[in-house]
Structure 1
Amino acid sequence: MAEHRLDEIDRRIIQTLQADGRMSVQDLASRVGLSPSPCARRVRLLEDAGVIEGYVAIVNQEKLGLPVSVFASIKLERQREEELDRFAAAVSRWPEVADCYLMTGQRDYLLRIIVSDLSAYERFLKDKLTRLDNVASIESSFALGKVKHSHSVPVELARV
Structure 2
Amino acid sequence: MEDLELDKFDLAILRILTSDGRISITDLAREIGLSKSPTQARLRRLERDGVISGYRALIDPIRLGLDHVSFVELSMTDTREASLAAFNAAVLKIPEVEQVHLIAGNFDYLLKIRTQSMSDYRRVLADQISNLPHVSKTSTYVAMEAVKENTVPDVI
- For the aligned pair, the TM-score class normalised by the smaller chain equals over 0.9
| Equivalence for 1:143 | 143
Unaligned runs of 5+ in 1: none
Residues 29-108 of structure 1 correspond to what in structure 2 (within 5 A)?
Answer: 29-108=29-108
Unaligned runs of 5+ in 2: none
* Contact 2:98–2:113 under 8 Å retained in 1: yes
The alpha carbon displacement at 1:136 in A equals 0.8
C-alpha separation between the residues in 2 aligned to 1:45 and 1:153?
A: 21
C-alpha separation between the residues in 2 aligned to 1:127 and 1:85?
A: 20
The TM-score, its normalising length taken from structure 2, stands at 0.95
What amino acid does structure 1 have at the position aligned with 2:51? V
* Contact 1:15–1:155 under 8 Å retained in 2: no
What amino acid does structure 2 have at the position aligned with 1:149? E
Structure 1 residues 7-62: Cα deviation after superposition (integer angstroms, max 9, x where no partner): 11101111011111111111110000111111011000001111111111111111
Q: Does 1:20 align with 2:7?
A: no
* Contact 2:77–2:136 under 8 Å retained in 1: yes
Change in 2 beyond 3 A, CA 1:2/1:141:
closer
The alpha carbon displacement at 1:152 in A equals 2.0
Change in 2 beyond 3 A, CA 1:2/1:104:
closer
The alpha carbon displacement at 1:133 in A equals 2.9
* Contact 2:75–2:136 under 8 Å retained in 1: yes
How many equivalent pairs are there?
A: 156
The alpha carbon displacement at 1:78 in A equals 1.0
Q: Does 1:116 align with 2:120?
A: no
* Contact 2:91–2:132 under 8 Å retained in 1: no
Residues 124-135 of structure 1 correspond to what in structure 2 (within 5 A)?
Answer: 124-135=124-135
* Contact 1:11–1:155 under 8 Å retained in 2: no
Look up the SS of the partner of 1:50 in the other structure: coil
C-alpha separation between the residues in 2 aligned to 1:153 and 1:24?
A: 23
C-alpha separation between the residues in 2 aligned to 1:32 and 1:91?
A: 41
